[in-house]
Amino acid sequence: MSVLEVANVTKDYGHGRGIFEVSFAVEKGEVFGFLGPNGAGKTTTIRHIMGFSKPQKGQTFVNGRDSWQKYYENQKEIGYLPGEIALPESLTGTQFIKMMAELRGLKNLEHTEYLSEKFQLDATGGIKQMSLGMKRKLAVVTAFMHDPQVLVLDERTSGLDPMMQEVFINFVKEEKQRGKTILLSSHIFSEIDATCDRIAIIKDGRIVSNFVADDLRHQETKTFKLEFKTAADYQAFIAQCQNSRA
């Protein structure tokens, strides 16, 4: 049984927006990359996995449980990092961490302290005054403070500086070594390629490719598609290529 499963899910918002017949599965201990441009349908798909939205067609499952019907049960096993962070600005970071710990019934905050140190989070200040990067770190810590077995990450490194992006990539690798099941969503191929076992590509709300990452990395022959805005740009490119061979 797959840990995460998306089975023929459709959510049509009209005018070609939404997701259409989307299907994929993530196995236990696997890091699965969900790649596509902004607006392709990644977040919509993830919202269905999380049980935030009910599909018009198809189903999503977490450990065999329907995402919509078993929302509360599934939340206990998932650590979710959304692409857009919305935090209560009237609290300090420390107060927010305490509130989230109480909501999750956490008594031991050892893992929370580990994450805070790893991501260099200073939670003492007010959330309203925090930089985007610090808010992102706070979201990371509170998303994974209960040490969940399933991680769902939507545009995971958005708002983090390059050094923290590298820390996050190493964190994902460490969690994989611990046997966690991880879904990563991004529009940046290098982020996905650095950690994933398999990759699905979504475009205009439809899955257009699903493959093992190593197959792409080790493929001797690669095909690239080039598009030009004008015929003149194309002719200039051809001329430059011919000159370089001369």
Residue ranges and CATH numbers for the domains of the chain are 4-77+150-245 (3.40.50.300), 84-147 (no CATH)
Distance, CA of 54 to CA of 131 (rounded, Å)? 34
**pLDDT at residue 101, as a whole number:** 96
In the predicted model, is pLDDT for residue 31 greater than 70? yes
Strand partners, 79: 151
Among 194-198, 202-206, 220-224, which stretch is predicted with the lowest mean pLDDT?
220-224
**Alpha helix (H) ranges present in the chain?**
42-49, 71-75, 93-103, 110-118, 132-144, 162-177, 189-193, 213-217, 231-245
**pLDDT at residue 73, as a whole number:** 94
At 108-155, the pLDDT tens digits run 999 999 999 999 999 999 999 999 999 999 999 999 999 999 999 998
| Closest alpha carbon to 200 in 33, 81, 63 | 33
**pLDDT at residue 227, as a whole number:** 85
At residue 207, the 3 state secondary structure works out as strand
**pLDDT at residue 240, as a whole number:** 85
| Closest alpha carbon to 139 in 68, 107, 74, 130 | 130
Mean pLDDT confidence for 206-216:
81
Strand partners, 63: none
The pTM assigned to this predicted structure is 0.84
Burial class (CB in 10 A: 0-12, 13-18, 19+), 79: buried
